[in-house]
Amino acid sequence: MRFNHTQYKILNTQYRRRGQSLIELLVAMAVGTILIGGSTGLMGVSLKSYAGVRKHLQANVLIRQITEVVQSLARSDWHSIYDLTKDSDYKIGLSGNVWSISAGQEEGTINDMPYKRYFRVHNVNRDSGNIASTGDNDPSTQKIVIILEYGNNYVSSTSIPFYLTRSENNKEFHQTDWSGGEGVTGPTSNPSNKYDTSTNVATSTAGQITMATTTSDGTLISSILDTGVSGGAGFNSFLWQGGLGAVERLNSKLLFLMIKLDHGLIMDQLLILIGISQTPT
């Protein structure tokens, strides 16, 4: 028996490739949508982070500027800071090329960021030389607090405290000779070899102050020293130098040296006890 085998051609099979391509396209679109959505979220986070960093940088610029201005003004004129009302708000301002200080808070905008900027001054106490909450007031040290409020409705804020110590424009006064005698009350910036008044003191020998007798105390009142500072001056220390004067070597009498200093607006008198070993004659 014989069978005939007939071959048939299958035509138009391109529809299979077209269907596969459509599925691949849909999958690619779905993956792309997911990736784009994720990238958009990351971009939003990145932009928000950049905006925050930008605000912090601008805040740092504002704080650095007011800090440098306050430090510069204190160096050039200590009283421009020291004489301010304590714990009150002050702002800086620029007129031409000169910085100045006035009461209140500075309000402005930098790169579309609104801000308020001001500072406060506080007295400083020292205990055994160290800054402390209680103790003696140190007129040569001030605490400065810089305050910055920024952002919409000033929702962000920061404050920077630091200390200023008077270390510029210091003046020294030396007097080692009183042989010119009394008669110069002052104020004077240079009394030369003279002073104001004295009692029971011998000054005729240059470079020496001695008691004339041992029967009574001796005093010497210096001329009023003109510091040259119209707003006042503070005094850090006084030094008496001599080969004698240890308390253990004192006899029955002491010599008192009265130093008078002109603050400009305020006059202070400081009594310094000087011990001089005196051999009775």
DSSP codes of every residue in 167-217: -SS---------TTEE---S-BS--TTEESEEESEE--STT--EES-SSS-
Which of 252 and 133 is assigned the larger pLDDT?
A: 133
Q: Note the pLDDT of residue 64.
A: 94
Check whether 162 has a pLDDT greater than 60: yes
Q: Note the pLDDT of residue 209.
A: 80
**DSSP-assigned beta bridge partners for residue 110:** 113
Q: Is 136 helix (H, G, I), strand (E, B) or coil?
A: strand
CA within 13 Å, CB half, 137: 6
CA 233/CA 223 separation, integer angstroms: 17
Q: Note the pLDDT of residue 176.
A: 80
Q: Note the pLDDT of residue 190.
A: 82
Q: Note the pLDDT of residue 36.
A: 67
Domain limits of the chain? 51-165, 181-274
Task: Using CB atoms within 10 Å of the CB of residue 269, give its burial: 0 to 12 exposed, 13 to 18 middle, 19+ buried.
Answer: exposed
Report residue 146 as tokens.
């810089």
Looking at the whole model, is its pTM more than 0.75? Answer: no
- pLDDT (tens digit per residue) in 243-267: 444 333 333 344 444 444 444 333 3
Contacting residues for 128 by C-beta, under 8 A, at least 6 apart? 135
Largest CA distance in the chain: 170
- Is 233 within 8 Å of 264 (Cβ atoms)? yes
- Is 55 within 8 Å of 150 (Cβ atoms)? yes
Q: How many percent of the chain have pLDDT more than 90?
A: 27
